[in-house]
Amino acid sequence: MNQLKVIFAGTPEFARVALGALVASGVVPAVVLTQPDRPAGRGKRLTPSAVNEFAAERGITVMQPTSLHDDAVVADLAAHDPDIIIVVAYGLILPQSVLDIPTAGCLNVHASLLPRWRGAAPVQAAILAGDAQTGISLMSMSSGLDCGPTYVSETLSIGEHETAGELHDRLAASGGELLVTHLADIVGGRIPAVEQDESLATYAAKIRTEDAAIDWQRPAAELERLVRAFNPTPGAYFMLDDLRIKCWRARHIAAVDEAPGTLVAADRNGIIVACGDGALNIESLQRAGKRPVTAAEFSAQMDLVGRRL
């Protein structure tokens, strides 16, 4: 595989893991595409992506176009005469002019068992839906959204209490391993691509902050999954008077005889809130601008019992 000519396109940590596995296997991309630097942190300083940092440290050429609908950018990519373009959580749509560049096409490493959970947030969607399994799919890219034929996939079980962050890390490692294991055979045409069953397709939309708001009218089991799905970002939250409180760890428990949103108990074992069905036992939470604390620490700071959320 050392002579393989590759362009890699990716942006966040999930993509960096795949790029790291690729480089460790001896395949160094001719160029890496990644999103432009974005403001980050309290100072909102322009910060390079995880992929950008990794590539720059290794002297790999980095391109950061704001769009791929630019003839000059397309010409630059074509000049590398790649065998394949590998795309992992890049964040920009590849137009047909780019899809047509590599001789073996464009390969996407996607964090779901396609056709389930196409789109931007498959890890969170799988947890929210209560799926028992998810995985990684290697897909031949087409002009549609994650609808190209798939080469191989790997299934991972989702832990009962696993957060999106924890699942993300396992999927990232699996994606890098799957990519390195099968890349040469995919480029060589030794693995057939199988069309997806459109009747089974589901869509994982991009996450908005308001999606993480806790509605106490919902069943506690759903809210537990919501807390897991939005840990670490954007963080499930509820309002306590005018304070936004993020909830990082919670478990659903049996029903209590209180109206949804009632703070039933608050002690070292958790903060219990009545829900539409059952109750949610919050174990870790955080006030804006403060560090995450245990339920015991939080309840020692505020008088909670009997209040309504």
Residue ending a domain, among 141, 173, 204, is 204
User: Looking at the domain assignment, is residue 124 inside a domain?
Assistant: yes
Calpha distance 48→39 (Å, rounded): 9
pLDDT: which is higher, 39 or 231 = 231
Residue ending a domain, among 204, 219, 244, is 204
User: Looking at the domain assignment, is residue 249 inside a domain?
Assistant: yes
Whether residues 187 and 221 share a domain: the answer is no
Whether residues 55 and 191 share a domain: the answer is yes
Decide: residue 259, CB within 10 A, 0-12 exposed, 13-18 middle, 19+ buried. exposed
Return the biggest CA–CA distance within the chain: 69
Confidence at residue 1, expressed as pLDDT on a 0 to 100 scale: 46
Residue ending a domain, among 187, 204, 221, is 204
Whether residues 86 and 192 share a domain: the answer is yes
Q: How many domains does the chain have?
A: 2
pLDDT: which is higher, 178 or 241 = 178
User: Looking at the domain assignment, is residue 309 inside a domain?
Assistant: no
- Please report, in angstroms and rounded to a whole number, the separation of the first and last CA atoms in the chain: 58
User: Looking at the domain assignment, is residue 162 inside a domain?
Assistant: yes
Whether residues 217 and 172 share a domain: the answer is no
User: Looking at the domain assignment, is residue 306 inside a domain?
Assistant: no
Confidence at residue 256, expressed as pLDDT on a 0 to 100 scale: 85
pTM exceeding 0.85: yes
Q: Which amino acid is at 242?
A: D
Q: 63-116 pLDDT, tens per residue?
A: 999 999 999 999 999 999 999 999 999 999 999 999 999 999 999 999 999 999
241 pLDDT tier (thresholds 50, 70, 90): confident
Retrieve residue 67's tokens: 């769009």
Minimal CA–CA distance to 271: which of 297, 292, 289, 291? 297
Retrieve residue 138's tokens: 């290697």
What mean pLDDT is predicted for residues 181-197?
97
Domain hosting 181: range is: 6-204
Which residues have a Cβ under 8 Å from the Cβ of 53 and sit 6 or more positions away? 16
Whether residues 126 and 217 share a domain: the answer is no
Of 152-156, 252-256, 276-280, the one with minimum mean pLDDT is 252-256
What mean pLDDT is predicted for residues 225-245?
95
Quote the radius of gyration of the chain (alpha carbons, Å): 22
CATH number of the domain bearing residue 235: 3.10.25.10
pLDDT at position 192 over 50 = yes
Strand pairing partners for 8? 32, 86
Minimal CA–CA distance to 97: which of 65, 121, 55? 65
CATH number of the domain bearing residue 183: 3.40.50.170
User: Looking at the domain assignment, is residue 276 inside a domain?
Assistant: yes
